Amino acid sequence: MTARRTFLLGTITLAIAAVFSGPAAAQNTIKIGEMNSYKNFPAFLEPYKKGWELALDEINKSGGLLGKKVEVISRDDSGTPGDAVRTAEELLSRENVSLLMGCFASHVGLAVSDFAKQRKTLFIAAEPLTDQIVWNKGNHYTFRLRPSTYMQVAMLVPEAAKLNKKRWAIVYPNYEYGQSATAGFKKLLAAKQPGVEFIAEQAPALGKIEAGAVVQALIDAKPDAIFSSLFGADLQKFVREGTQRGLFKDRPVFNLLAGEPEYLDPLKDETPAGWYVTGYPWEQINTPEHSKFLAAYRAKWNDYPRLGSIVGYSTMMSAAEAIKKAGSVDTEKMIAAMKGMQMDSPLGKFSYRALDHQSTMGAYVGRLALKDGKGVMVDWKYADGAGYLPSDAEVKAMRPAE
């Protein structure tokens, strides 16, 4: 009887301990939910994850946030809107995260943004470049880190206009990002260069380009210049086929993102010299803030950063700054903190605009060249994102009222 009583008392004690220690442990941790298409876009997202993990280490080593350790619950969203929304729901309902961050593809980011609105949860969109996420389909709960397609196109258009080429062909991946980039380029170039003509378009499905057919169609159109928003494996196939068939000979090409190491490095000696691009010349940036980041990244990972590394690091730091500034993980307090929030980053200072929740982070703009058998950016400059946005009146006309 004594043994049974001892056993029962012990069981009750353990149960009581579990009841009280569970919430206490939870209260000592701030959970952030992160989701991304890691299996679908590893070239960008493996460095991205290393970036936010570096930032997380720095945050926790400095004491965490609000006196608590920060934990990131990370999930793969499978690169589809439906799976991403289910993942976001799991992070909120089962993991009890305080906010959401991440996403890569534009259509996935838009789905999670709408979900965040419905669930009244802060969402920091890291990589989706679609203009709609902060403008036409913007909402109270969503903020976006990277410069949008409109912004990056606006950075390239002045150089395109200088060339005064009349007949343009366009090639883009046929989903939200590519469609948005194409629409922005047409609008902005036509405004700067009246009379310009867009004589051909090729829009292969993402990841399924038939490069030979695309290149031949562009050759047959006989454009004076080409605008492309291809990236990843599609870009490699396009470059290889276009080079072999002479598409790029004496014909300027403008390509968003092609100067990012994720997409430039695999091209190696096939890099198309002379192309106008946005990118990240990591090995040439000598600012104090970038040098500090580069040293820390190399020390932790024994590798060099890609642009994804910058995005992951800056997204995590943005979430941390929002919590720190709010003094809370209350959603409305974090949102209020992010409006107009100033940030330091490896690329320099930027802020999140109160008007549309778009960050003013910029991008590097330059041309491609071959050096020692690999592609590099040359003649580059940093374009501050704040200078490449539409007017406040235009944004207000596009963005739904909160």
Q: What's the confidence (pLDDT) of residue 141? A: 98
Q: Are 71 and 80 spatial neighbours (Cβ–Cβ below 8 Å)?
A: no
Going by C-alpha positions, the residue among 345, 261, 358 that lies closest to residue 311 is 345
CA torsion sign, 9 to 10 to 13 to 19?
negative
pLDDT tens readout for residues 141-199: 999 999 999 999 999 999 999 999 999 999 999 999 999 999 999 999 999 999 999 99
Q: What confidence score (pLDDT) does residue 402 get?
A: 78
Find, among 258, 223, 229, 250, the residue nearest to 366 by Cα.
258
pLDDT in tens, 269-286: 999 999 999 999 999 999
**For 204-211, what is the mean pLDDT?**
96
The mean pLDDT value for 233-262 works out to: 97
- Spatial CA neighbour of 323 closest among 126, 56, 77, 110: 56
What pTM does this model have? 0.91
Neighbours of 339 (CB within 10 A): 14
β-pairing, 350-351 vs 342-343, is antiparallel
**What tokens appear for 44 in the block?**
């960008």
The tokens for 233 are 């494996």
Q: Could you give phi then psi for residue 387, rounded to 5 degrees?
A: -90, 5
Q: How confident is the model at residue 401, as a pLDDT?
A: 84
Residue 56 burial (CB count, 10 A):
23
pLDDT, tens digit (0-9, with 9 covering 90-100), for 334-390: 999 999 999 999 999 999 999 999 999 999 999 999 999 999 999 999 999 999 999
> Quick one: which of 244, 307, 301, 233 has its CA closest to 266?
233
Residues of the chain above pLDDT 90, percent: 93
Q: Residue 115: which pLDDT band, with cuts at 50, 70 and 90?
A: very high
How far is Cα 287 from Cα 306, in angstroms, rounded to an integer?
17
13-68: per-residue pLDDT in tens?
444 444 443 333 447 899 999 999 999 999 999 999 999 999 999 999 999 999 99
Query: What residue type is 81 in one-letter code?
Result: P
3-state secondary structure of 250: coil
Structure tokens at 268: 């190696």
Beta carbons within 10 angstroms of residue 7's beta carbon: 10
Compute the half-sphere exposure of residue 61: CA atoms within 13 Å on the CB side of its CA.
6
- 252-260 mean pLDDT: 97
Q: For residue 95, what pLDDT is reported?
A: 97
Q: Which two tokens stand for residue 171?
A: 């090639």
The token pair that represents 150 in the structure block: 């409109």
Structural domains in the chain, CATH included, are 24-148+288-299+306-362 (3.40.50.2300), 150-285+364-387 (3.40.50.2300)
Q: What distance in Å separates the CA atoms of residue 289 and residue 293, rounded to the nearest whole number?
A: 6
Average pLDDT, the chain: 93
Angle made by CA atoms 192, 356, 127, in degrees to the nearest 5? 85
